[in-house]
Amino acid sequence: MGDEEAIERVLAGDINCFGLLVDKYQNKVLGMIYNMTRDHHLSEDLGQDVFLDAYRGLVNFDSSRSRFSTWLYRITQNKAINALRKRKPLLFAKAPERAIEASGFEKFATDELHMEFDRILDRLPVRQKAAFVWSEIEELSYKDIAEIEGVSVGTIKSRISRARRFLRDAVKHRKAISNE
């Protein structure tokens, strides 16, 4: 069953069909939120909110204006961005309290690198971070991102370009410091 048929059936009173949409998009929605917030618990909470809002707003969905997935991802993005704006920055995402075992050094180094990248990514302006995450991590097309964001493809290209430049410069700066 396609999205449009499921939506029609939900609007006709068969609320169980909404579960089909949740099953189809849940992993993508949760992944998008996690990639923006880097918080599993928050991702699960916001994911529930996304689907609740989608269910409530389904009557206003217009398939002639966008695909259901794009509409749902827009709700997802708005929830993630609002959560990021409300969240207080953490001084330590994960303090490395565990002892480093000789055999686990590579994993520790990889975890540290990921945490450092997350810290750098968190310094991006929210809209640049969103565009970068949608493009580079979620692998959405510029066209889809532009539709989700409600802006032109050129604006998305510009945001991603600025984000890449910022990240590249931050990594170069980090390397320069670590070489001193």
SS (H, E, C) 49-105: HHHHHHHHHHHHCCCCCCCHHHHHHHHHHHHHHHHHHHCCCCCCCCCCCCCCCHHHH
Q: What pTM does this model have?
A: 0.68
- 55: domain CATH number? 1.10.1740.10
Quick one: 63 and 114 in the same domain?
A: no
Quick one: 81 and 111 in the same domain?
A: no
pLDDT string in tens for the chain (180-residue length): 899 999 999 999 998 999 999 999 999 999 999 988 888 899 999 999 999 999 999 999 998 888 999 999 999 999 998 888 886 544 334 333 333 343 444 444 455 666 777 777 888 888 898 899 888 888 889 998 998 888 999 999 999 999 989 988 887 776 655 555
Domain count, the chain: 2
End of a domain among 88, 111, 133? 88
Q: Would you state the pLDDT for residue 54?
A: 96
Quick one: 82 and 154 in the same domain?
A: no
End of a domain among 56, 88, 120? 88
Q: Would you state the pLDDT for residue 22?
A: 95
Q: By residue range, what is the domain housing residue 158? A: 100-180
Three-state secondary structure of 109-172: HHHHHHHHHHHHHHCCCHHHHHHHHHHHHCCCCHHHHHHHHCCCHHHHHHHHHHHHHHHHHHHH
